[in-house]
Chains A and B, each alone.
Chain A
Amino acid sequence: MRYLLGAFLLFSLASLQANDYLYEDFSTSTRWFVDLKYGLDGLLFPGNDSGNIAISGGNLNMDGRPQTTDGGGGNWDFNSFFVGRVARMNNTFSASPTQPFGFTVQVSDVRINCYDGPYWNFTVNSIWLVEQEADIVDNNSTEWSRYENAVFFYQRTRDNDTTSTTGVFNNGWNDFDLSQAERPNGESMSLEQTGGNYFSMNDLVSQTMTGPWYFKLTHDGSTVRFYMNVNPNSDSGNDYPNEFLKVGETTVFYSNNLQIMIGQQNNVPGGGDANSYVEAIYDDLLIRSVTSGTGYYFKGRESFDELRIIPTINSRDAGIAEVVLRNKRPKEILAVFNEYGDQLNDGELAELKLVHSEAQFAAGTAFVFERMNAGKTETLVRFYKPTPAKQEVIQAKTRNKNIIIHTKKTLSPHRSSIYVDNQPYAGEINHQWATVGREKVYPMEILGPNAITGFIGGQQ
């Protein structure tokens, strides 16, 4: 009976999944509406612009600016308003804690220049996440139409400033403090330290952000987070780790019908195209989930609590490389079992050796450490993955995908929120990482009280 119930649970898990995978190499433009005249102040048609946004040569390229007085038009109609041009992906997505959404995209050759003009004079490179609006179809849609639910990551330069600012627009411009970027292990790292102004992009000081670097955006149903990886190829001459450093986050109230847009904006048309423009090249946009849905249950043993994590993973999923337990301390983790404890993919779970320092992290070990996140303690259990050929990630090809963690007995084991993730850490190369951020693991009780009672209540 127990096995029948287990089969029911796994079947139910599989039926809950809604998995995203998408890779865009920009070899064609079939997924995109490439030149939508959209900026912060809406769908605007200045009639005179020097902007160019195109998918060509295997990239998404942009240069020029969306409104200008150069070229004989002399059009100041939208002076003071943020006019833009974006490439909008046709696909729509949804996000939730158990199936978060996120993407990475390569960015290079960013140059954002703004001339010495009015005080409130900006040029902006922007990556948007909007909720689809039926009224905004193309450039024949009504002028001044707006995405009511929209946020965008920005890099902007103002009025002849010699540095740009980076942030998120969500009901206002919110600059990030790049000196406080956050590594996956929770440590703080400054993105302003290399070369003094790594992200300064005004050509008046001859600084161009050549890259390539990677941008990541995640959405867990209520929070959008922004990351930058400024050393994606583990360049030894680059001081930064090959990691996605969190630079900021913002709360949103929309999570369905999400669309990605990438583009440029400016709000003053004067000053000459030679002095005001946004240039950037985008490539390799990727969406990859951690799993296709993962459940868990706790089982009380005589001297410990047993946490069993049961994922569904397909070949396009990144798989599980770390487990996060909120409100737990490392000393509460007594043992960890997965398919690779004995370094064999033989269908039997085996115990991993617990280590508490990165120096001891090796094949057959689980690296258990603590970090603070949003004011709460959480414990991470990482699996070894230095290279694609040498890794112990729980993937589609893993014969037994379950993970078992023994923790100290507590009266309320269910108070621990549990997540799985797969992201790059310094020293690791070229993995099939996830792009969506941590995925919440849901309690399997939701599948039916009878099922779970039978499953965890009996003697195993």
Chain B
Amino acid sequence: MRKLDLLFPALKIITLTLALVLTPLSLYSYYFYEDFEVSDMSEMAARGWWTNYRYGKTGYFRLDAYIDGDDEGGNGCWDSGGEDQSYTSHFISNGMFSVRGTPNYVRNTWSGVWAGNLIKLSNHQNRYDASATQPVGFQVIREYAMLDGVTSCKYGGGGGASERQQGDIVLWLVKDEANPPYEANNATPGAAYAQAIGFWEKGMAREPNYSAANSRGSFGYYVGSDFRLDLTDASRPAGANVDLTANTMGSPTGLRWLYNDERGGAANNNALGMRITHDGRVIRLFINPNPKSDAANAFPNEWLLMKELTVNWSQDLTIMLGHEVIRFDQERMDANFDDVLLRSVSSGAFFQKENFADKTRYAIKANFQETDAGIAEIRLPLKRKPETQAEMQAIKKLIAVQLLNKNGKNEALKILQAGGKSVLPGQIGMTIIPASKLSGPQISLRLSQKSDTKNQVIDKTSPYKKIIIDIDKRLEKVLDVENEVLHVLNEKYDSDKYTKTATTGPQLASPVVPYSLAGNALRLPQ
């Protein structure tokens, strides 16, 4: 046998090993962007949307058939439109999706039914599966809202404005169904998605305890019934708390806007972002209270974590957007929406772990599409939160980070204790992220996102292809390296101007194990 013949099997193994270890698998990512730059709603179907979809929290109800000309309240308010009332409508205006009116001003018979009018992304063409390695996250910008929960011609039989008068604007994340509740499928009134969450902003009236404070708007979510969010407990990406009821934007109660015009309320022209993410197991709700970095708004331009919910559904996801009312005597649930966006961090992120005598090394890389946000941050789990500043300093000294560029050259980055603040190229911002309800504490290592032109985000076109993190063995008392849970992110931080951020939240990187003759083959991502 010639030497070459002997070499071939070994060469094959080496080649295969290199191919598997050095070349990330070609995977997928998610991207969807709707800018509503169309002339009217008739063009929306071609872009994948159902329009005028009469779905509310209670299910599918098309109430048009019940508009009968009766004057339910006896004072001329209903059926003819009433004081300032109009029946629900959708239209496009200035490149935004607009909803106006109320989906029920019909009859008292339908009080208690949450009647809605939505646009739904699908026609069964766009459905998304969420997992830890490829999470899903949709966001939308609310450009305008006037959520007046009560008309002056309140229903006479009910004793005036009260808690019962409610309506909302809502972003739904639902598990789509083969036969969704829809009149084309002969849905019975009230047919509902079995798995769904509605993220809402509500306008509500209240009497007799009818003070300005408790008639203000609120935020919450619907999972079978309504749950309110605690706006005083919003978490910034770096973990700090924000009280979203603080006085700013001309609203002494922050995001709790006074809409009721009978109590001095007015329309809200402040932009606000709503985002729902799903990592296969946990749904998270976020609010961005200042998505356009309005200088008159004291809140940060960041997506603030409001709620985490564990669920057992994660497939065939889609979204719906619109408005709902629970009665027929709301004045209006008007809003303009823009910029519906879904953008992944990467098309599959991987890490390789190597153990040395004195350190553990993580080499992280990913596949990217043009549309992916790219990696701007790595998060590693902590066994416990560092207790002192001295311990933080020690951690900083025991971590080393390098970027590997496409020419194979390493660039060592200087680690700063950033606390979520901006860092420059050549630097890494280290932040301790405190535990949330469903996640333990983490250490964040953030690359520069200074601006769109000045940054070190690793993406499809960046000169950097790999990030290498060395963890000193002495750190393993604090850092949880055994469980191999490592996430990549690209979040919007208020301190930075970088715009091409992800909407999906943290993406779990998959471990890549070198092929070995012992049969310990490549472990594919989930």
Contacts and interface: CB of A to CB of B under 8 A. Distances in A.
Q: Which of B109, B110, B192 has the most CB of A within 10 A?
A: B109
B227 A146 contact: yes
B404 to A, nearest CB: 41
A76 to B, nearest CB: 4
A267 B112 contact: yes
Contacts of A81: 163-164
A390 B208 CA distance: 66
A79 B112 contact: yes
Contact of B162 (A76, A169, A251): A76
A43 to B, nearest CB: 12
B514 to A, nearest CB: 29
Interface in A18-67: 40-41, 44
A120 B113 contact: yes
Contacts of A169: 224
Interface centre among B110, B195, B225, B227 (most CB of A within 10 A): B225
Contact of A119 (B109, B207, B224, B227): B109
B370 interface: no
Nearest to B157: A76
A80 B159 contact: no
Nearest to B207: A77
B108 A80 contact: no
B109 A75 contact: no
Contact of B112 (A119, A146, A148): A119
A11 interface: no
Contacts of B310: 253
Contacts of A268: 111-112
A81 B202 CA distance: 15
A27 B207 CA distance: 41
B167 to A, nearest CB: 12
Contacts of B262: none
B228 A144 contact: yes
B485 interface: no
B192 A172 contact: yes
B194 A172 contact: yes
Interface in A320-363: none
B463 interface: no
B158 A119 contact: no
Interface in B35-60: 58
Nearest to A253: B310
Contacts of A170: 224
B112 A76 contact: no
A172 B181 CA distance: 15
B351 to A, nearest CB: 29
Interface in B191-216: 192, 194-195, 206-208
- Among B110, B111, B157, B159, chain A packs the most CB atoms within 10 A around the CB of B111
Contact of B225 (A77, A82, A118): A82
B224 A172 contact: yes
A133 B479 CA distance: 32
B312 A251 contact: yes
B110 A75 contact: no
A173 B224 contact: yes
Interface in A380-405: none
A82 to B, nearest CB: 7
Interface in A229-281: 251, 253, 267-268, 270
B440 interface: no
A119 B110 contact: yes
Contact of A120 (B58, B159, B223): B58
Given A80-B112, A251-B312, A268-B112, A171 B223 contact: yes
Contact of B159 (A40, A44, A75, A144): A75
Contact of A77 (B58, B163, B189): B163
B112 A118 contact: yes
Interface string A133-158: 00000000000101010000000000
Interface in B142-185: 157-159, 162-164
A74 interface: yes
Nearest to A144: B228
Contacts of B158: 76, 79
A112 B327 CA distance: 25
B224 A121 contact: no
A76 B223 contact: no
A170 B96 CA distance: 36
B71 interface: no
Contacts of B452: none
Contacts of B157: 76, 270
A348 to B, nearest CB: 48
A141 B227 CA distance: 16
Residue among A82, A171, A173, A267 facing the most chain B CB atoms (10 A cut-off):
A171
A80 B310 CA distance: 28
A79 B166 CA distance: 11
The list of the 5 closest CB pairs from A to B, nearest first, reads A120-B112, A76-B158, A77-B162, A80-B112, A171-B224
Interface of B: 58, 108-113, 157-159, 162-164, 189-190, 192, 194-195, 206-208, 223-228, 310, 312, 326-327
Given A44-B163, A118-B108, 17 more contacts: A40-B225, A41-B225, A41-B226, A76-B162, A76-B164, A77-B159, A77-B164, A77-B206, A77-B207, A82-B225, A118-B111, A119-B109, A120-B58, A121-B112, A148-B227, A171-B224, A173-B224
Interface of A: 40-41, 44, 74-82, 118-121, 144, 146, 148, 169-173, 251, 253, 267-268, 270
9 contacts: A74-B159, A77-B159, A118-B109, A119-B109, A119-B112, A146-B227, A170-B224, A267-B112, A268-B112
